[in-house]
Amino acid sequence: MQRLADETGGAYWKIGNATQLQDVYERIDHLETSEIKTTILYHSEISPLFQYLACVAFVLLLAERILRATWLRVAEEVRR
């Protein structure tokens, strides 16, 4: 990694503990002088469709239970 950093003009730091990591972060903060801009490019509402599909499935299951207890039950008894 150090060779890669030297060849590309980057920097390499070997970090062994949290104090060294904090020192590296401080060095990077001093190197970076541009201001950070936070911009939201767009906002999109995502509405999950599974709720609608779950409702349809529930209604179909409910209809099947009602039909099996009434009309389909009568149809089975007539067929016997």
Neighbour tally for 54: CB within 10 Å: 11
Answer whether residue 71 shows pLDDT above 80: no
Average pLDDT over residues 42-71: 87
- 21 Cβ contact list (under 8 Å, min separation 6): 15
pTM, two decimals, is: 0.37
**Residue 15 dihedral angles phi and psi, to the nearest 5°:** -110, 130
How many whole angstroms separate alpha carbon 23 and alpha carbon 32? 14
pLDDT the model gives residue 75: 63
